[in-house]
A and B are shown apart, each in its own frame.
Chain A
Amino acid sequence: MSIATCRVDTMDEQDKFALLTQVIEEYERKPSNLIQVLHYAQSIFGFVGADVQRVIAQKMDLPLAKITGVLTFYSFFSTAPRGRHIISVCLGTACFIRGGQPILDHLKEILGIDVGETTEDQRFSLEIRRCIGACGMGPSLIIDEQVFKRLNVSGIEQILDEFE
């Protein structure tokens, strides 16, 4: 499929919906492919909003309630736009034991948001992950794709400064 190669961020809404329709076609409108379609929808639009849910329901001939029900079950999906940068604090057991919780608490405080929320200026969204694969060097967090390890509370602000 051409998805991987196409530049989603330069597309307008109409093209995005056309692409979504194409994805649904490629998945043969099979109900069992719903979650895979939702993954694509999220990568095309950044989140799966009301319009997108309606289109998926219509094109896949599934009840709208089912789309919402499946979508909201899985924590990976978001129904609202997220910030420009996504901060995922690792709270896997290893990072937790090594002090991940204070890192998270500190971030909540300086950003003024709770887990699952986005700052008003759309700069950051805050999320929790349960292990990002760097357990030996916890506590760790990821911003977008970048991993930060062996963190301590005092260094957090400095890290955030790198992200506009």
Chain B
Amino acid sequence: MNSNRGEDMYQTGIESVRSKKDLETIQAEFIQYGKKFPWRALVCSGASCMSSNCQGVKDALESALEKYELQSAVDVVVTGCMGACSTGPTLIIEPEDVFYCGLQPKDMDELVRIHFLEKTICREKTFFNLNTGEYIPYLKDVPFFKGQEKIVLQNCGRIDFRSVEEYIANDGYLALHKALTQMSRNQVIQEISDAKLRGRGGGGFPTGLKWKLASKNESDDKYVICNANEGDPGAFMDRSLLEGDPHGIIEGMAIGGYAIGANRGVVYVKAEYSKAIERTEEAIRRAREINLLGESIFGTDFSFDIEIRIGAGAFICGEETALIASVEGERGEPKLKPPYPSDAGLFNKPTVINNVETIGNVAVIILKGAAWYSAFGTEESTGTKVFALAGNINNSGLVEVPMGTSLREILFDMGGGIPEGKKFKAALPGGPCGGCVTEEHLDVPMDFESLPELGATTGSGELICMDEETCMVICATIGSGELICMDEETCMVDVARYFMEIAQEESCGKCIPCRVGTRRMLEILERIAKGQGKEGDIELLVELGNVIKDSAFCGLGQTAPNPVLSTIELFRDEYEEHIHDHCCRAGICPDLSGGPCENVESGAKPSDKEL
């Protein structure tokens, strides 16, 4: 998407931002500029909406505005993902905050006429609540947005991701200024620690502690790495954040750099994320141009610059040591820890690796303080978590909720429940590393403590360990934020097979339990799904799965068996039906007879069926 406000897009005349005053000037200028327009029309340009032709919608919107001579009344802004992806292309009109969705280019003429000329709401184009059969025009009333708390995503879907001015107008780079001019390195770290920010990349490791470990190491070179490999097969939080608010990540990384004493940052992005790469690259360029990156930022002696490294299709490169290997130009194989990256990471220098979303929290914590931040969420899990909601659910998309929100609220209130009135079967909160959550645990709060308490039912997620003295282990099943909802027509054997297929496809091949073990597990599952399961297969899967978990080299192998073990625990009868009755009650496994698997329910023996 290359032109929206076209030539008119506001760009500051300030060539180098040296002070808070410069920031304030830009802010004032931008507000002044905004005042020229009675309305702002925010067109979502997130990945999902782009795939639904939001470009066409935007073009049609602009022609309609031209036709009705409204160009100077409506500022058309392209933004990142607004969250309600399944309803895209989406459009928000400020100041009323009316939310339009499911748009097509042909709708735009009418919409422009009704909204801007007639000044009423074009109801049919607003959100339709399937459960009540009503249209809901105002964003704040849409159930999907209710209960959400946008901290990390505050700018995402609200500002033009290309405009550093607009970012600054929304208090951007004030946190960096504050850190550099009013806080010592230790104070920054302390603030992050006090806010109890924990890693959102799956491990939940305390970010403040991680920074502290790296800051204590003396070295000429240190690095901050932003982990945007986002490997979970249905996750798009990190991508949306980079696409929709790249300056937020740049600012967070720079603050991290200051705190640990690093002058260089690397954003490691998955190769498939071409838009995220493009937008981040452009944001870095622009930040450099006005000296928000580069030498002596804000006139202090702190220098920081960021480089983008593009991954090349390897889930394992999300693991920190594998990521480092990849940035160094090697095969992305995990390495031994210790040494931990905070001691010897990229090019053997002290390195902090944080997830995109973790970094997205940094600036706001510094700006508004730890106390403000930790008021969100629970005692030990503060702030919010972004989830990528998908699967058999009415409203899929991105939601940001305070930590501790229950799965039920997320799935049924925001997500709008299961389509076509089908029954909920299970949710997978940890992607391929975690386990299932069933109906009875739907009220569990989504935070770092509660999910692990479910123990075996949720698997153990990723293990992270870093502390020079003791090996500290945090089990967190909150995972990265991929949240998949499954209805009654899902076959759990098939789901287990699916995740095992991914694990074995993404295994780096370094260690035997994972390289060979995941393959053997997959083969057993494939056999079962084909109706060729044998007596003892379930036990073999459990034995093998537990050994792989116990002995694999890295987090991938250590968590790969979780979906299998968890589904066996919760849905063992389904496995048995496949094996003994050659029946798939969901009707998914093509070689088996479809359900309901009556033989089992009626207590008949497999042999009866064959006769």
Partners in one complex: yes
Interface residues of A (CB under 8 A from B): 30-36, 38-39, 69-70, 73-77, 91-98, 101, 129-138, 140, 147, 149
Q: Point out the residues of chain B lying under 8 angstroms from A101, CB to CB.
A: 498
Contact of B51 among A34, A70, A130, A147 (CB under 8 A): A147
* B376-423 at interface with A (beta carbon < 8 Å): 388, 390-392, 395-397
Q: With an 8 A cutoff between CB atoms, is B239 at the interface?
A: yes
Task: Return the CB mask of B62-100 against A: 1 if under 8 Å, else 0.
Answer: 000000000000000000000001111000000000000
Contact indicator B52/A70 (Cβ below 8 Å): no
Q: Which residues of chain A come closer than 8 Å to B606, judged between CB atoms? A: none
Interface flags for B306-343 (1: CB within 8 Å of A; 0: not) read 00011111110000000000111111110000000000
B428 touches A93 (CB 8 A): yes
Q: Is B486 part of the contact surface with A, judged by Cβ < 8 Å? A: yes
Tell me if A93 and B482 are in contact (CB < 8 A): yes
Q: Are A97 and B484 in contact (CB under 8 A)?
A: yes
Contact B236–A135 (Cβ < 8 Å): yes
| B313 A76 Cβ-Cβ under 8 A | yes
What are 11 A-B contacts defined by CB distance under 8 Å?
A35-B326, A35-B329, A39-B271, A70-B329, A73-B331, A75-B313, A92-B390, A93-B428, A131-B234, A135-B234, A137-B51
Find out whether the CB atom of B234 lies under 8 angstroms from the CB atom of A93. Answer: yes
B217 on interface, CB distance cutoff 8 Å: no
> Could you tell me the distance between the alpha carbons of A70 and B88 in the complex, rounded to whole angstroms?
39
From residue B154, how far is it (CB to closest CB) to chain A in Å?
A: 21
Does B48 touch A at the CB level, under 8 Å? yes
**Which residues of B have CB within 8 Å of A98?**
391-392
> Is B490 positioned at the interface, with any CB of A under 8 Å from its CB?
yes
Does B47 contact A133, Cβ atoms closer than 8 Å? yes
Smallest CB separation, B345 vs chain A (Å): 13
List the A side residues contacting B392 at CB < 8 Å: 97-98
- Find chain A residues with CB under 8 A from B271 CB: 39, 76
Contacts of B482 in A (CB 8 A): 93
In the bound complex, CA of A34 to CA of B332 (Å): 12
Given contacts A69-B331, A73-B314, contact A94 B47 (CB under 8 A): no
A32 CA / B327 CA spacing, docked (Å): 6
Q: Which of B46, B48, B310, B333 contacts A36 (CB 8 A)?
A: B310
B residues in contact with A96, CB < 8 Å: 233, 498
Residues 430-452 of B, flagged 1 when their CB comes within 8 A of A and 0 if not, give 01100000000000000000000
Checking B311, B395, B431, B486 against A97 with a beta-carbon cut-off of 8 angstroms, the contacting residue is: B486
Residues of A within 8 A of B498 (CB): 91, 93, 96, 101
> Which A-chain residue is minimally distant from B327 (CB atoms)?
A32
Q: How far is the CB of A164 from chain B (nearest CB, A)?
A: 22
Give the complex CA separation of A33 and B327 in angstroms: 8
Task: Given A91-B233, A92-B234, A94-B396, decide whether A149 and B51 contact each other with a Cβ distance below 8 A.
Answer: yes
Of the candidates B231, B312, B330, B486, the one whose C-beta lies within 8 Å of that of A39 is B312
CA distance A140 to B88 in the complex (A): 15
* A-B contacts besides A137-B51, A137-B85, 20 pairs, CB < 8 Å: A30-B329, A35-B326, A38-B312, A39-B312, A70-B330, A74-B311, A74-B312, A74-B314, A76-B272, A76-B313, A91-B498, A93-B390, A97-B390, A97-B392, A97-B490, A98-B391, A130-B234, A132-B272, A133-B236, A149-B51
Q: A32-B347, A92-B234, A131-B234 are in contact. Are A149 and B52 (CB under 8 A)?
A: yes
Tell yes or no: B9 within 8 A of A by CB.
Answer: no
A147 contacts across to B, CB distance below 8 A: 51
Is B579 interfacial (CB-CB < 8 Å)? no
Contacts of B85 in A (CB 8 A): 134-137
* A135 interface neighbour in B272, B396, B432, B490, Cβ under 8 Å: B396
CB of B573, distance to nearest CB on chain A (Å): 21
Task: State which of A69, A77, A137 has its C-beta within 8 Å of the C-beta of B312.
Answer: A77
How far does the Cβ of A92 sit from chain B's closest Cβ, in whole Å?
A: 4
CB distance from A108 to the nearest CB of B (A): 13
Q: Does B600 interact with chain A (Cβ within 8 Å)?
A: no
B233 touches A93 (CB 8 A): yes
Is there an interface contact between A32 and B329, defined as CB atoms closer than 8 Å?
yes
B583 within 8 A of A: no
- Cβ-defined contact, B390 with A135, below 8 A: yes
* Separation of A74 and B313 alpha carbons in the complex (Å): 5
- Ranked nearest first, the 3 interchain pairs of A and B with the lowest CB-CB distance are A136-B86, A133-B47, A94-B390
Given contacts A31-B329, A93-B428, A96-B498, contact A133 B313 (CB under 8 A): no
* Chain A proximity of B50: nearest CB distance (Å): 8
CB closest chain-A residue, reference B48: A134
Rounded to whole angstroms, the CA-CA distance of A131 and B391 in the bound complex is 12
Within the complex, the shortest CB–CB distance from A36 to chain B, in Å, comes to 7
Say yes or no: B310 contacts A131, CB within 8 Å.
Answer: no
Inter-chain contact A94/B484, CB cutoff 8 Å: yes
The answer on a CB contact under 8 Å between A140 and B51 is yes
Q: How long is the Cα–Cα vector from A134 to B398 in the complex, in angstroms?
A: 11
Q: Quick check: is B552 within 8 A (CB to CB) of the other chain?
A: no
Nearest neighbor of A146 in chain B, beta-carbon distance? B51
The distance in angstroms between the C-alpha atoms of A4 and B313, with both chains bound, is 21
Select the residue from B88, B232, B329, B390 with max chain A CB neighbours within 10 A.
B329
Task: Decide yes or no: A135 and B312 within 8 Å by CB, A35-B329, A70-B331, A140-B51 being known contacts.
Answer: no
* CA gap between A96 and B231 in the complex, in Å: 16
User: A93 contacts B86, CB within 8 Å?
Assistant: no
CB distance from B428 to the nearest CB of A (A): 7
CB of B592 within 8 Å of the partner chain:
no
Is B17 part of the contact surface with A, judged by Cβ < 8 Å? no
In the complex, B235 has a CB within 8 A of chain A: yes
| B312 pairs with A76, CB closer than 8 A | yes
Hey, which chain A residues are within 8 Å of B51, CB to CB?
A: 132-134, 137, 140, 147, 149
Task: Please give, as numbers and ranges, the residues of chain A lying within 8 Å of B454 by CB-CB distance.
Answer: none
| CB nearest to A140 among chain B residues | B51
Q: Return the chain B residue nearest A62 by Cβ.
A: B329
Residues of chain A within 8 A of B431, CB atoms compared: 93
Complex Cα–Cα for A147 and B309 (A):
26
> In angstroms, how far is the closest chain B Cβ from the Cβ of A75?
4
